[in-house]
Chain A
Amino acid sequence: MRYIRRNRLLVMGIVIVGAIVGMTILAPWLAPHSPTEALEGQRLLPPSWEHPMGTDNIEQDMLSRVIYGGRVPLLVAFVSALLSLLVGVMLGWVSGYFGGYLDRVLSLCMDAIYSFPSLILAIAIVAMLGPGILNMILAIFLVYIPTYYRVVRGQVLQVREEEFVAAAHSVGASHWRILMRHIAPNTITSVLAIIPFNIADAILTEAGLSYLGLGLSPTLDPNDLAAADWGIDINKGQKFLQGGHWWLITFPGLMIMLVSLGFGLIGEGLNDLLNPRRRQRL
């Protein structure tokens, strides 16, 4: 506990992420307007007291859109990171523990995916499956499996050689029991520190896809609340950049940066916390 309080990075990260997630959940109560409401005669207004983040080209209040805009990115990032975690960790356990032919094939596949630019892979998947939240989750989930797989497999290879594993074998424990009771718990700490970085990366990938117009369906009804998405808003605001309408892109982008920074800080903090040797140095 003492370490957690002394760990400023972790605390900063948790505060940022907590604030943004809270804002997103409480959006209906916090937003002054509906994100899709057209406020008559208030087109492309710069930030003012009435509209702290200005209004866009279809007379919507940017503050409200920014407050709502985190729903899709956060949902996509959380769900896809959870799925990558589950699949990646399980494959890592099985591959590392049983080794052999299965391990070789899996490792090759994972290395192949890992070496490929994740955004381009995600773009290819979404381009073929078509836009939409589910397809985005599927694309981002597939792309980040190797991140977990590689770390977990490496850990299992180490732990497998420990004497307590040999001891468990000698008293006749089943493979399943050894994997679950003796090996798995020893790999969890290294996984923990990856999760925040993975979520941060997933948020950036979602934002990138949305910015490129491959995220949510472009034909989505603009009155649909899901149409308020930071990446999409930047895509739409970009056209008005040359006219000097800076507020259309600045605030949604700032949110993307803040939330992924928050997760990055949590990751750094966790690293310090879980890795005592590094902790001494920092």
Chain B
Amino acid sequence: MSFWQYTVTRLALTVPMVFILLSAVFVVLRIMPGDVCIVVYGGRGRSEDIQRCQEQLGLNKPLLAQYADYVAGIARLDFGISMRTNKPVLQEILAQVPATLELALAAMVIAVLIGLLTGVGAAVYTDRPLDHGMRLFNVIAFAMPIFWLGLILQIVFAVWLKIFPVGGRLDPITGLSFEPITGLYLIDSLLRADLGLFVKVLQHLALPAITLGLVLSGVVGRISRANMLEVLDKEYVKTARSKGLPEGRVIVHHALRNAMIPIVTVIGLQFALLLGGAILTETVFNWPGLAQYLLRAINARDYPAIQGTVIFITLFISTVNLLVDLFYSRLDPRVRY
């Protein structure tokens, strides 16, 4: 099977997967709570309000027709109109995406740097104090409530030491005059060749990204250690050593390069974990991203916005997983399609 045939097969498998996820979302958000409009209006709403809501959301139709509407809406990328702001939900979501993306990417960079370093270090020095120390670090990172870590960093570095701002993407005054281009503020500030702005953006990004990155680095470290251990056992590593190559070269060129393939894949698949962590990190640091949007929608009982955000995340995760899979098959020529 060629790469393209594999791509087509993999795509064909993604479609039922997405369908199942979307159906699950339909069950959780539409069927499980009963009548959404009664949920939205908290049971004490006036009957005309509830009726209007039912008509707006199409709840007066039979369930199967609702499901058909739901799927058709998603296919047209029509996520409905927000009940809170009366704007199209998709448009609102897309406005929030860059903030979350910037946070997630920055956190990913930090997680990979720390995770690779600790994981590879632990594997190379198996059973020595360094290994125990790094394993402990990984376990602690796994056990850390991310929002708590964020709050602790916030109180130490923002409230007491005043090195970093408490939250937000920019201070309100700069934020007012700032017009985003891509929405990724780091890139925007560089595009405008404004170094002062770049530093400000970085200062705001630092604490949230470190919080999210530290927690994720535990996962990266654990995977790196396991894969490195496996590779270090291989014959070609022994060969490299017996050739008399310096240990550093053996580890970086012979072992790490081969261990990287599964590591990269697993890191790619951590995007789901990353989004879950982002929802808490965004709350701690008042970061105006997707998670904040979802929580505001929940608090306002803005049903189309809740549903739209969950669907958007579903589609996003499925796409990322698909891309990681395809990337993996390219990266490792040994993968049999």
Q: For residues 51 through 108 of chain B, which have their beta carbon under 8 Å from a beta carbon of chain A?
A: none
Q: Name the prevailing secondary structure of the A interface residues.
A: helix
- A182 CB → nearest B CB, Å: 31
Say which size band chain B's interface belongs to.
35 or more
Chain B residues within CB distance 8 Å of chain A: 16-17, 20-21, 24-25, 28-29, 32-33, 36, 39, 126-127, 135, 139-140, 142-148, 151-152, 154-155, 159-160, 166, 229, 269, 272-273, 275-277, 279-280, 283-284, 294-295, 298, 306, 310, 313-314, 317-318, 321
Asked if A184 is at the interface of the complex by the 8 Å CB criterion, the answer is no
User: Does A208 lie at the interface of the complex (its beta carbon under 8 Å from any beta carbon of B)?
Assistant: yes
Q: Which A223-268 residues have a C-beta within 8 angstroms of B?
A: 234, 238, 241-242, 244, 246, 249-250, 253-254, 256-258, 260-261, 263-265, 268
Given contacts A112-B21, A253-B148, contact A282 B127 (CB under 8 A): yes
- In the assembled complex, 7 residue pairs joining A and B whose CB atoms fall closer than 8 Å, in A order, are A109-B20, A115-B21, A116-B314, A124-B29, A128-B29, A128-B32, A281-B126
Q: Is the CB of B25 within 8 A of A124?
A: yes
* A268 pairs with B139, CB closer than 8 A: yes
Q: List residues of chain A with CB under 8 Å of any chain B CB.
A: 108-109, 111-113, 115-121, 123-125, 127-130, 200, 204, 207-208, 211-212, 214, 234, 238, 241-242, 244, 246, 249-250, 253-254, 256-258, 260-261, 263-265, 268, 281-282
- Contact status B144-A241, CB under 8 Å: no
* Interchain CB contact under 8 A, A241 and B154: yes
In the complex, which residue of chain B has the Cβ closest to the Cβ of A262? B143
A162 to B273, CA, bound (A): 36
A205 CB → nearest B CB, Å: 9
Known A-B contacts: A108-B20, A115-B317. Give 13 more (CB < 8 A): A119-B279, A120-B294, A128-B39, A128-B306, A207-B147, A211-B283, A241-B155, A249-B148, A258-B143, A260-B142, A263-B143, A264-B139, A281-B127
Residue contact A127 to B321, C-beta cutoff 8 Å: no
Residues A112 and B139 in contact, CB atoms below 8 Å apart: no
Measured CB to CB, the nearest residue on chain B to A241 is: B155
Whether A127 pairs with B306 at a CB distance below 8 angstroms is yes
In the complex, how many angstroms separate the beta carbon of A34 from the nearest chain B beta carbon? 25
User: Across the interface, do A200 and B143 meet the contact criterion of CB distance under 8 Å?
Assistant: yes
